[in-house]
Amino acid sequence: MSTVAPSRATGPAAERPARPVHRVTGARVLRSEWAKMWSLRSTWITSGLGLLFLIAFGLIAAYQFRSRISSGRPMDRDFADATALGLSLFGTNFAQLALGVLGVLVAAGEYSTGMIRSTLAAVPRRLPVLWSKAAAYGAVALLLGTFGVFVAFLADSRILAGTRAAMTLSDAGVLRSLLGAGLYLGLVGVIGVALGALLRSVAGGISVLVASLMLVPGLVSLLPSSWQDTISPYLPSHAGEAMFALQHDASTLSPTAGLLVFVLWTVAVLAGAAVRLVRSDA
């Protein structure tokens, strides 16, 4: 009588190693969002435009001021009391739109393509996705904005040397204003991400962003003066401007107060996006 020893299974099934199990951590989600962000062509194009707006408009404003002084032409009201700092920050209003729009695209773009379902399937807790998107893009907008305003100011300082608008980094308030402008642009980027996640629409997010930063202040200016003085300083755009303004008066917030108000606006929009992300389907 013979016995047959059981043979081990052979072939691909036996040789295939078990897949390693990876835990979902905040660092891994952040790396994933960073990789996705830079894989998009729109990220490179729009961030480049934001940097270009900051530097180019600052240089144009400085050359315009210098040419008017050299030619003896009368100064416009916008240039009458201009400084190198103010002229170098001339492109901030244009850069904030580019960086804010890109923030909307970073968040809402996944909803328009349907890729958000795959993202949330990989990260079931959901909120780390929002925090990672906001942190990754906010850091990019902060670095781009800070780099752009410093380059614009240093270039303008050389152009305006010897004029009444000349300033250096050692002048009172200059360094604080430049850092404040960079921080403002970084927070605008975070607000863009939050609006994209809250509204889940590229067009809707961009519309609300433009309205809150540019249209609402114009509408408030039509209100009675007493109402304007009460409401206007606390609007997102005006609170943000207080962060990097060199001069302040009774109608504007201090830099610290402006920062606190703008951070509160940012947190409010992020909180709205977080609530919707947790309570509704993608």
As a whole number, the mean pLDDT across the chain is: 87
Share of the chain above pLDDT 70, in %: 89
pLDDT value for 249: 79
Whether 11 maps to a domain, the answer reads no
Tally of domains in the chain = 1
Separation CA 168–CA 166 (nearest Å): 7
Domain assignment present for 20: no
Q: What is the pLDDT of residue 5?
A: 54
Specify the pLDDT at position 22.
61
pLDDT of 208 over the 90 cut: yes
How many Å apart are CA 203 and CA 194, to the nearest integer? 14
- Could you tell me the pLDDT band of residue 4, with boundaries at 50, 70 and 90? low
Q: Which of 273, 92, 271, 106 is nearest to 189 (CA)?
A: 106
**Residue 14 maps to a domain:** no
Which range of residues forms the domain containing residue 268? Answer: 28-279
Residue 75: predicted pLDDT: 67
Query: pLDDT tens, 55-112?
Result: 999 999 999 888 887 776 666 666 667 889 999 999 999 999 999 999 999 999 888 8
pLDDT category of residue 176 using cuts at 50, 70 and 90: very high
- Is 18 inside any structural domain? no
Give per-residue pLDDT as tens, 262-279: 999 999 999 999 999 998
Give the best-scoring range by mean pLDDT among 46-60, 161-175, 210-224.
46-60
For residues 87 and 113, which has the higher predicted lDDT (pLDDT)? 87
Q: Is 21 a residue whose pLDDT tops 90?
A: no
Grouping H, G, I as helix, E, B as strand and the rest as coil, residue 147 is: helix
Are the C-beta atoms of residues 50 and 144 closer than 8 Å to each other? yes
What are the CA-CA distances from residue 68 to residues 72, 86, 154, 159, 240 (Å)?
6, 16, 20, 13, 30
Of residues 225 and 146, more confidently modeled: 146
Asked whether residue 15 is domain-assigned, the answer is: no
> Is residue 21 domain-resident?
no
List Cα–Cα distances, 124 to 30, 80, 270, in angstroms. 15, 57, 19
Residue 265 lies in a domain: yes
pLDDT at 192 over 50: yes
Name residue, tokens 């020893």. Answer: 5
More confident residue, 141 or 42: 141
Residue 200 lies in a domain: yes
Q: Is the pLDDT of residue 239 over 80?
A: yes
Residue 1 has a pLDDT of: 45
pLDDT in the model for residue 15: 56
Residue carrying the six token digits 């606190």: 260
Neighbours of 155 (CB within 10 A): 16
Distance CA 115, CA 123 (A): 13
Buried b (16+ CB within 10 A) or exposed e, 223-244: eeeeeeeeebbbbbbbbbbbbb
